[in-house]
Amino acid sequence: MAQVWPDILTVLPVSEAELNLSFSEKIELSLVDILKQATNQLYDKNGTRDGVETAQIVLDFSWEKLNTGTWRDVDKEWRRVYSYGCLFKVTALCCGEVSQLKIDEAIKTCDMGLLMGASILDDVLQKLVRVLQNKAKAWQSKHTEPIVEPERKKFKTECDPAPIINPAKAVPRIYCPSLEQFRTEFLDPLRPVILEGVIDHWPAFKEHPWSIDYLRTVAGCRTVPVEVGSRYTDEAWSQTLITVSEFIERYILGKGNTGKGYLAQHQLFDQIPELKEDIRIPDYCCLGEGEEDDITINAWFGPGGTVSPLHQDPQQNFLAQVVGRKYIRLYSTEETERLYPHQSQLLHNTSQVDVESPDAARFPDFLKASYQECVLQPGDVLFIPVKHWHYVRSLELSFSVSFWWA
């Protein structure tokens, strides 16, 4: 592959002096010295190739800090250190002639910084990964012959059975209500509703319809967190970091019979701005008290049969369905006692009950709880009021986008 270094330089500070390493006293001076050594290597044309080892020392040391205690207690300074380690490793990997393997490793390193680190130098890791992706795509388009696969295994399109919706319990639907109507009839009284016709203009439906091939092209080489297991309350549940292409191969195409995998509750659109260009924040979010930057946008991508157990969230939620269908059941906060929340602090917002197969002996009052239900179709947006309990099951290959707002 041709040199990447000239393009890398365009997104870096021009001089070593502009790469100002300033940390609080929480960061050991010995590590700051190593960071300064890595900076010297970065701006020394003869030393950049040797910078991988120095960068790895920074990454290993800060990784230990990131994985000590709970994530919420990790000091942001250590996340910044980790991001600098990623920066130095990427630049060292990209010095001189580079192979496709090195480009792939550099992209993964950027993603680890975006996932685990903190923003540094005006989002330099985001800029670097864009340069690397463009180089990789350009090289592949020149050197890769089209592969014809006449009988390639199709992704899983089989559907789980959808419950028959009781009309008396169905979530109401409304087409493009005005802001005032939505506020008066649904937001203020905290009433769930399905909004129709409000996301039909998204590029994800028109200019760039989301498909397996499209997602692989835009995001295939990017590393993301994946939940492994039927649901997060199961003892066997775990998380792993793999590329989007690997996720598709294992859990969407189903190669290797590796069980259920779910790319869930991940801020994919901050990580991959190209995908964010395919969606729009619903206008109704302007009725909230926060700014647009305060809205949390999450991706939910997985095969049929993925389940989010009955739980509640501390913010208003718009759940937009882009691909596939989902069965959803909702309970108001008035039903909380009948839903048997877990007693532990970690799962206090999650019910112990298996909604579609409840143990009536253990949870006798659950069957007395009132609820609403629906099957969310592509193009639908479900308003889930703050702290409303909700259970979600994908009926087929599905991609949803949630917007959490105050």
- What band does 46 get if pLDDT is binned at 50, 70 and 90? low
Collapsing DSSP states into helix, strand and coil, what is residue 233? coil
Among the residue ranges 46-50, 101-105, 166-170, 280-284, the one predicted with the least confidence is 46-50
pLDDT at 272 > cutoff 50: yes
Q: Which two tokens stand for residue 371?
A: 């609820």
pLDDT at position 153, please? 41
Choose from 20-24, 218-222, 252-256 the range with maximum mean pLDDT. 218-222
Instruction: For 221-260, write each residue's pLDDT tens digit.
Output: 999 999 998 788 877 789 999 999 999 999 999 876 678 9
Collapsing DSSP states into helix, strand and coil, what is residue 174? strand
Helices 29-42/51-66 angle, 10° precision:
140
pLDDT at 150 > cutoff 50: no
pLDDT at 363 > cutoff 50: yes
More confident residue, 285 or 50: 285
pLDDT at position 161, please? 77
Q: Which two tokens stand for residue 53?
A: 């080892």
List the strands of the sheet with 389-394, edge to edge.
Answer: 307-311, 389-394, 326-331, 372-376
pLDDT at 360 > cutoff 70: yes
Distance CA 92, CA 7 (A): 14
pLDDT at position 151, please? 41
Q: What is the mean pLDDT of residues 314-323?
A: 98
Whole-angstrom Cα Rg for the chain:
24
Beta partners for residue 403, in sequence order? 297, 318
Q: What is the mean pLDDT of residues 385-390?
A: 98
Q: What is the mean pLDDT of residues 52-61?
A: 96
pLDDT at 349 > cutoff 50: yes
Assess contact for 376 and 326: CB atoms under 8 A: yes
pLDDT at 49 > cutoff 70: no
Average pLDDT, the chain: 92
Q: Which two tokens stand for residue 378?
A: 């592509």
Distance CA 23, CA 18 (A): 15
Instruction: Please give the share of the chain, as a percent, with pLDDT higher than 70.
Output: 93
Query: Is-above-0.85 flag for pTM?
Result: yes
- Nearest 5°: CA angle at 62, between 87 and 219? 45
DSSP line for 91-139? HHHTSSS--HHHHHHHHHHHHHHHHHS---TTTHHHHHHHHHHHHHHHH
Cβ neighbours around 235 below 10 Å, total: 6
Give the helix/strand (H/E) hosting 323. Answer: strand 316-323
pLDDT at position 143, please? 63
Q: Which two tokens stand for residue 344?
A: 């532990």
